[in-house]
Every structure is written in C-alpha cells, then in structure tokens.
Amino acid sequence: MKGDISPQLPGGTLLFTGYDEGQLSINRTVYPSGLYIHANAITAPWGPDSLSELTTEHLVPLMEPAPEVLILGTGRQTAFPSADIMEFVSSRKIGLECMDSRSAARTYNILIEEGRDVSAALLLPNARR
C-alpha cells in the first residue's frame, strides 16, 4: 500500500485495542479486570481494586526481567502510589510513569510501537483512589 504508516510489529505483539469503564481490551479480547502486560504476556485478573490497595507484592512479577519503563494505570484519575512503591520500582532502575488508565493504555501502545521495552499494569478505568 502506498503511504502505509502502520507500525511494523512482530506477530503476536500485545496492544490495547479499547477500554470502557469496567473493561480493558488487548488484541480485541475483553478483560473485565485490572491486568498487566509484561514480557509480552498478559496476566488477568490482576491487582487491587483501587490504587490505595496497591502493594509491592502486586508489582514483584513485573520486576524480572526488568523493563525500561513500567506504566501504571491508576484508574479514573492520575494519581501516584505510596512512596514505598515508588522506591521499590526506582531501586531496580525501572522508570515509573503514572497516569489514568485510559492514557496508560494509549502510552503503552506508543512506546511498544517505538520498540521500547515497556510493561504496563492497569487498574480498570473506573477504579478510584
């Protein structure tokens, strides 16, 4: 196709294809729970129902192999996890980007399309702090 600008990604690459208040979609499969993508594998259901319930134990599976960046989708609004969690991630030399879950899904896709080593852990878009 002349002028094709679609990303040239390896087959099986996981990308967010949609979201709604109570669900996330990856490669057109709907997940009615929080989830994470790490090392091109999906784990769902995952995590707490709200950011205030997030613990370091929820993030341990995302530490090896260590991604360059971990995107944390914090639900309805952008918020930051506790200082303990931020220290847990940064002590492993992993960049932590926190944003609302809708923005997190879009940002994950952009970084994957750029060829970056990124993992994402998202609460449902309707999750509150």
Task: Give the CATH number of the domain where residue 98 resides.
Answer: 3.40.1230.10
**How many domains does the structure of the chain reveal?**
1
Domain range for 44 is: 33-122
Question: Can you tell me which residue has the tokens 């914090």?
Answer: 74
Q: Model pTM? A: 0.92
Q: Exposure of 72 by Cβ count < 10 A (0-12 exposed, 13-18 middle, 19+ buried)?
A: buried
**Strands, sheet with 41-43, edge to edge from the N-terminal-most edge strand:** 41-43, 35-38, 118-122, 69-73, 95-99
Q: 73: which strand partners? A: 99, 122
Residue 90 lies in a domain: yes
The series of mean pLDDT values per 10 residues for the chain, 129 residues long, is 57 91 94 97 95 97 97 97 97 98 96 95 92
